Amino acid sequence: MSKSIWAIYFHKLPTDAKPQHGLCPMGSDSWCGFNKSLVSGEKYIHKHSLPEPVLLATNKVSRELADKKLLSKCIHGQTQNPNENFNNCAWERIPKNTFVGINTLKIGVMDAMLCFTDGVYSRTEVLKNLGITPEKTLAMH
């Protein structure tokens, strides 16, 4: 994760005269247009580079985000604030400003708990236990 943070940071610095994409992922499916162009052979023009003073101003934030101590708190799907993240999962299913009945509320909270603790794929197991064969597209999510 630390490498990815720095890849994004340095991805915004290069110019056509001085490309700096060594930390960006390689290959045709890369999010880095420059590295994609190396595979395809197309000419790449750096259109969205940020001025060096702007990047220097954001360096401290990137350093903090890439800190191993901070990142260790976020491994295995954990977050810095698990309650806030779970609440977000619940509110996605049951918006705060929409009235729902108790059964809808229970199902929404149970689905949020399931997806928060075991991931979205766990829904397929629930469907299988109910005797419903999930579509292949659901199993891929």
Q: Provide the whole-model pTM.
A: 0.46
Mean pLDDT of 44-48: 85
With vertex at residue 47, the alpha carbon angle to CA 41 and CA 53, rounded to the nearest 5 degrees, is: 130
Is residue 49 left, alpha or beta, with left meaning phi > 0 and alpha meaning psi from -120 to 50? beta
pLDDT-based confidence at 82, cuts 50/70/90?
Answer: low
Per-residue pLDDT at 109: 92
How big is the chain by its Cα radius of gyration, in Å? Answer: 21
Cα distances (Å, whole numbers) of residue 103 to 34, 94, 107, 127: 51, 11, 6, 18
Q: In this predicted structure, what is the pLDDT of residue 67?
A: 87
The pair of structure tokens assigned to 56 is 């220097």
Q: Helix (H, G, I), strand (E, B), or coil: what is residue 67? A: coil
Structure tokens at 100: 């729902």
Provide the b/e sequence for 38-64 (b: ≥16 CB within 10 Å).
Answer: beeeeebebeebeeeeeeeeeeeebee
Please give the average per-residue pLDDT across 94-105, as a whole number. 89
As a whole number, mean pLDDT of residues 107-120 equals: 87
pLDDT score recorded for residue 103: 92
Higher-scoring residue by pLDDT: 73, 33: 33
Say if residue 125's pLDDT is above 60: yes
Q: Which residue has the higher pLDDT, 84 or 90?
A: 90
